[in-house]
A and B are shown apart, each in its own frame.
Chain A
Amino acid sequence: MTRYIAYRVLALVPILLGTSFVSFGLIHLVPGDPVVAMLGLEADAQSIAALRAKLALDEPFLLQYVAWLSNIAIGDFGRSIQGERPVAALVFTALVPSAQLALAALAVSLLIAIPTGVVAARHRNGPKDLAASFVALCGLSLPSFWLGVLLILGLSVHVPLFPSSGYVPPLADPLGHLRHLALPALTLGAALAAATMRMTRATMIEVLRADYIRTARAKGLPEREVVWRHALRNTTIPLVTLVGIQLGQLLGGVVVTETVFAWPGIGKLTVDAIFARDYPVVQATILVTAALFVLLNLATDIAYAMLDPRIRLS
């Protein structure tokens, strides 16, 4: 196991270097002069020269990259163009609301998907199963930001139950935090639930055919216990993998949902920085998100290997 983990972590190094290169290089794809793009056409020559010197844009590309990367290695992501704030602080402050949203969405998705998937598998090809599968297919086809807009329309505009946007820190006002969290979490969670329900159903159908389930039934256990204890426990491995993959997908999913609900996370920070042409911030958010994505995928693979020895031995 240690060897497997060590190998996988080492294999990560070139990928992380590659993502940092892409995140950094994006700014050099900006047509024309990135400094003029950032400051606007009316900027005077002096401030253009100053910013160019500060971002070291006159240096050769590779030197700039190495300087940028070595600063990041000691936790210095530079300063934002807007307001001159340390980029590292901006990014890490934004990660907290994003993590809250992602975990809440995951919880919503599991609460919807697991019971539905189990019931669908037990009544395979019956009306309940067909209804669940149809709803899941619709869920997979629903653009999440549109679901967000519909939820705002229904539960915020028509029936004013939840606020349509904004963020309240959980420690300052726990109830207010949950009320603000409700609609974005439901939006993101519903998008994930479709895939999780399909997976739970498919795995459950396999498991219910297994010999140990026949044994459990034969020794007279009530059907409810057979399904919810013996069978459900054996759907864990594929579910853990799926949840790990979904945590990664959530890093992309939060971009649009956070923008719809004005939730001050990493996604909204990225989009706002793109519009403000605040390239140091864009480079940092893209790099940090990609690094988290890669690490989450690695954690998923390791969890999978721990749960299922066949993976690490092959």
Chain B
Amino acid sequence: MMMDPRTAIGAAIVAVVACAALGAPWLAPHDPNLPDFAAALAPPGASHWFGADDLGRDTFSRIVHGARASLMVGFLSVAGALVLGTSLGLIAGYFGGLADAAIMRVMDVLFAFPGILLALGITAALGPSLSNAILAIAVVNLPIFARLARSQALVIRSLDYVEARRALGFGPLSILVSTVLPNAMGPIVVQASLLFASAIITESYLSFLGLGVQPPTPTWGNMLRGAIGFLDMSAWLAWFPGIAIFATVLGFNLLGDGLRDRLDPRA
């Protein structure tokens, strides 16, 4: 099994970001939240590799710690939407009728909002925080998984091997979990890997707008928000968090494309 080079590059980037997130306390040379006014707006150099912000906090340490928020929001929001959305979609597609109509009309309504706007509305109502950002992005992704799982279930429920299980006397729940679900998972996993990238971008939008994870906890989005006031003299404050978001999202996109080529026969 040879990995194609794009997938390998994507996997390498994701691995580096994951290591940064897991090892942040050991990798960061400074406390990410400790102000040091002597170092305020210090340019990149030996003691501060990526420079320091207006409070003298070390940018490299904050970037490394920022990986935690990005990956945590990305992973939990996609996983939450996947579990709930897939369950709802499979139930709707397999049983049809009233369950289908009720579930899918709610999903249609969620789908009727531009994603970022729905996420904004939810975080605005519930208050800005890490957990509310996760919840908001999960709600945005919910209908995507539900629609995908439903269309899978519609096809699979009339296939011979499902008929066979039914003839053998298995109940609907057992068929759903042990037969329909495993056969529906391929495209759902591909979708999840691609949504990971968009979840990370959405989290950075929310943080950038001030509606995501709150300072002083560093995230790449709120670091960029802080950098806006210093563009004319301390441009590096805007470069490094942006590169971090860009590289991470690129990594997940490359990995998602590779997964799709391998798992999704239609592509």
Contacts and interface: CB of A to CB of B under 8 A. Distances in A.
Interface of A: 14-16, 18-19, 21-23, 26-27, 29-31, 137-138, 140-143, 145-146, 149-150, 152-153, 157, 248-249, 251-253, 255-256, 259-260, 270-271, 274-275, 282, 286, 289-290, 293-294
B210 interface: yes
A256 B245 CA distance: 16
B204 A143 contact: yes
Interface residues of B, number: 41
Interface stretch (B44-52, B59-67, B104-112): B104-112
B120 interface: yes
B67 to A, nearest CB: 15
A212 B244 CA distance: 47
A286 B234 CA distance: 36
Contact of B224 (A21, A145, A248): A145
A61 B205 CA distance: 32
Nearest to A29: B125
Interface of A is mostly: helix
B161 interface: no
A286 B121 contact: yes
A15 B104 CA distance: 11
A30 B125 contact: yes
Contacts of B208: 145, 256
B125 A153 contact: no
Contact of A22 (B113, B227, B250): B113
Interface of B is mostly: helix
Contacts of B246: 138, 141-143, 146
B242 A146 contact: yes
Given A145-B224, A157-B232, A252-B114, A137 B125 contact: no
B117 A251 contact: yes
A18 B108 contact: yes
B209 interface: yes
A31 B125 CA distance: 8
Contacts of A274: 120, 124, 211
Contacts of A255: 116-117, 120, 205, 209
Contacts of A259: 209
